[in-house]
Amino acid sequence: HTIVKAVTIAGQSTGGLDALTALNQTEQRWNDFQKKGFTFQSSKQTITLPISGAASDSDEVIIDLVGFDPAKAANQAYTFGHQGSFWRQARERLSGWLGRRHEFGDFSIDTPSLDDLLRRHLATDDKPAVDAGIDVSSKGVVSVTPSKDGIGNNYNQALRTAVGNLRTLSSATVVISQQTLKPVIPLTADLQSIANAGVPAILARTPFTLTADSDSWTLDRKTTSPLLGFVNKNGQTLIGFDQKKTTAYLAQVKKKADIAAQNSRFVINDGKITEFSTSAVGRSVNVDATLTAMQTNLIGQGLQTVALIVDIEQPISGTVAANTLGITELVAEGKTNFKGSPTNRRFNLTLGSEKLNGLIIKPGETFSLVAALGPIDAQHGWKSELVIKGPKITPEFGGGLCQVATTFFRAILGAGLPVVERHNHSLRIHYYEPPVGLDATIYEPKPDLRFTNDYTTALLLQTRVDGNDLYYDFYGTKDNRTIDLPTPKVYNKTGIPPTQTISTTDLKPGEEKCQKPGHPGADATATYTVTYADGHTNKQVFQSHYRALPVICQVGVKPKPTPAPTTNTNSDTNTTPTE
């Protein structure tokens, strides 16, 4: 059989072809598209975004912007007109003969990530609009500062074009038009009178006070004056706290007001479990909600004091009596080796292990590794690693946490615990092999590694670093369960693809930066069976797909002259399109 006439895959006709020819043709087009990626041309620069952002050798994060299965598309195209009842096949074939087009090929695209990359790398092109504002001199004179139109790239239009190109596997350059950005608060004749009436009245009621439990922050006249601006409420222009300026101020307050949740921690000394840290509830300032409360209470209701709106953070492990935990012996051990890791990677995996050391997982509790580690940023002690995202190599915090996740995962398996959520790396990472197929990756806020403690007693996690070895030990009370975990089956092995070269204007012409090494691909299946003392079993199959990744090299080129883009007026530029 051959494919029915008028059937297309990713915009290209495959009618009259056999399934294998259609598959080979589609795979070749897909491979070509993957090599070229997306190219965008703005008024000032041209950038190429690979369809994947891959981590450096010291980090294991990879972000896939696009997904497509040529084999699935070819199979769908082939079965059209050849499957189902006689009448269905006849109807589908007839529609093809009559020239009605039938398109196959399902694409997935991470539009928010593509939008984020595009805006981040073309941010220097944009000049945001400026709202009319308020200035209060040292002598108390109130004046209105003028508004200004801005100009920016039409990202929504560019993304729609890119998605259209993807659906036909076209690598054509997307030319980005520019648009005029209009201010939310334009300069009008009545603003001065509004400011003259509202600003002095508000400043006369200072100082204001922000509170959080026993802590407080004072907004005197000098602090409040630069935070005031025009706000639009139900179509009416009023005096209030300027969103941009007040958000920046509250961000500084948040640094001092936030309190991290403290987990109850235990340690085993001389065979006995003792508590060395009690638990405590944490708090995190909700800046947006606090700004709304300031507008409502300090401006709208004329109050002097407002409480910071905070999100309560509960500790992972609450305070419990050590003698009730039932922790008597070593239950399981997880181990990985991090030989060859760079300094920051070693630092992060050690820090992550310290944050987990001594945690108690109660009976019936479902444990989240991402929640236990907390925010991954400089403020919480993490160091950055270089990660390739799009066309740039940028620092990202938490490199090495995947080693924490993998070590933890292996301890979970050793203890025979049910795994609620586990994700393998997109790439094969040498730190975790052999075996292939028993790794786990995390990335705040997702993906996560989660499991449930189905023992009748609590489990105590003890972590330690010994040379280049990382150990995670579970202490508790064994319950005669047995674990069967054969070596994973590895298949569909592929080699490292040819080196991929990306042109960039971020480097000097001829300068080259390569991300090494490349990664071979494979699939792996691990069957995990736990048999309990009463004879019932729990079986889980961990399926892992590791895609091959070439060495990616960026080569500097001279910027190309770009044609003048078209300009239109549109103030709605911050909405991410849904495709």
Q: For 168-282, where are the alpha helices, taking DSSP H only? A: 191-203, 221-224, 243-257
Residue 143 has pLDDT above 90, yes or no: yes
C-alpha 79/C-alpha 10 separation (Å) is 16
| Cβ pair 81, 89 in contact under 8 A | yes
Residue 574 has pLDDT above 80, yes or no: no
C-alpha 569/C-alpha 149 separation (Å) is 10
Residue 91 has pLDDT above 80, yes or no: yes
Q: Which residue in the block uniquely carries the two structure tokens 């444990």?
A: 367
Most confident of 245-249, 340-344, 363-367: 245-249
Average pLDDT over residues 18-45: 88
| Cβ pair 283, 214 in contact under 8 A | no
C-alpha 7/C-alpha 99 separation (Å) is 9
> Which pLDDT band holds residue 379 (cuts at 50, 70, 90)?
confident
Length of the chain: 579
Average pLDDT over residues 240-248: 93
Residue 63 has pLDDT above 70, yes or no: no
Question: What is the pLDDT of the chain when averaged over all its residues?
Answer: 83
> Which pLDDT band holds residue 396 (cuts at 50, 70, 90)?
low
* 318 or 237, greater pLDDT: 237
pLDDT value for 385: 63
Q: Which residue in the block uniquely carries the two structure tokens 């991470």?
A: 110
Model pLDDT for residues 5-16, shown as the tens digit of each residue = 888 989 898 888
* 393 or 459, greater pLDDT: 459
Average pLDDT over residues 458-475: 88
How many helices (H) and strands (E) the chain has is answered by 12, 40
Average pLDDT over residues 160-172: 92
Most confident of 296-305, 319-328, 437-446: 296-305
pLDDT value for 576: 31
Most confident of 65-69, 202-206, 560-564: 202-206
Residue 60 has pLDDT above 80, yes or no: no
> Which pLDDT band holds residue 314 (cuts at 50, 70, 90)?
confident
C-alpha 461/C-alpha 474 separation (Å) is 5
Would you state the structure tokens that stand for residue 86, as one six-digit string?
A: 């006689």
Residue 268 belongs to what H/E stretch?
Answer: strand 265-269
pLDDT value for 330: 84
Torsion, Cα 202 203 205 209, to 10 degrees, reads 100
Percent of the chain whose pLDDT exceeds 90: 37
Would you state the structure tokens that stand for residue 366, as one six-digit string?
A: 């479902």
pLDDT value for 195: 92
Average pLDDT over residues 264-283: 67
Q: How many CB atoms lie within 10 A of CB 408?
A: 27
Helix axis angle, 155-167 relative to 111-121, nearest 10°? 130
Residue 413 has pLDDT above 90, yes or no: yes
Residue 153 has pLDDT above 60, yes or no: yes
Q: How many CB atoms lie within 10 A of CB 255?
A: 10
Residue 393 has pLDDT above 50, yes or no: no
The pTM is what? Answer: 0.60
> Which pLDDT band holds residue 425 (cuts at 50, 70, 90)?
confident
pLDDT value for 52: 62
Model pLDDT for residues 282-306, shown as the tens digit of each residue = 888 999 999 999 999 999 899 999 9
pLDDT value for 279: 67
Classify 251 in phi/psi space as left (phi over 0), alpha (psi -120 to 50) or beta. alpha
Average pLDDT over residues 245-252: 94
pLDDT value for 59: 41
DSSP codes of every residue in 404-436: HHHHHHHHHHHHTPPEEE----SS--GGG-SST
> Which pLDDT band holds residue 274 (cuts at 50, 70, 90)?
low
DSSP code, position 533: T
pLDDT value for 270: 61
pLDDT value for 466: 86
pLDDT value for 427: 81
Residue 566 has pLDDT above 80, yes or no: no
pLDDT value for 360: 83
Residue 231 has pLDDT above 80, yes or no: yes
Residue 572 has pLDDT above 50, yes or no: no
* 381 or 55, greater pLDDT: 381
> Which pLDDT band holds residue 398 (cuts at 50, 70, 90)?
low
C-alpha 30/C-alpha 400 separation (Å) is 32
* 399 or 164, greater pLDDT: 164
> Which pLDDT band holds residue 261 (cuts at 50, 70, 90)?
confident
C-alpha 10/C-alpha 248 separation (Å) is 47
Model pLDDT for residues 499-514, shown as the tens digit of each residue = 877 777 777 888 888 8
Model pLDDT for residues 516-551, shown as the tens digit of each residue = 678 888 999 999 999 999 999 999 999 988 888 788
pLDDT value for 181: 93
Would you state the structure tokens that stand for residue 214, as one six-digit string?
A: 């026993």
Residue 105 has pLDDT above 70, yes or no: yes
> Which pLDDT band holds residue 55 (cuts at 50, 70, 90)?
very low
Residue 571 has pLDDT above 80, yes or no: no
Helix axis angle, 70-79 relative to 19-36, nearest 10°? 150
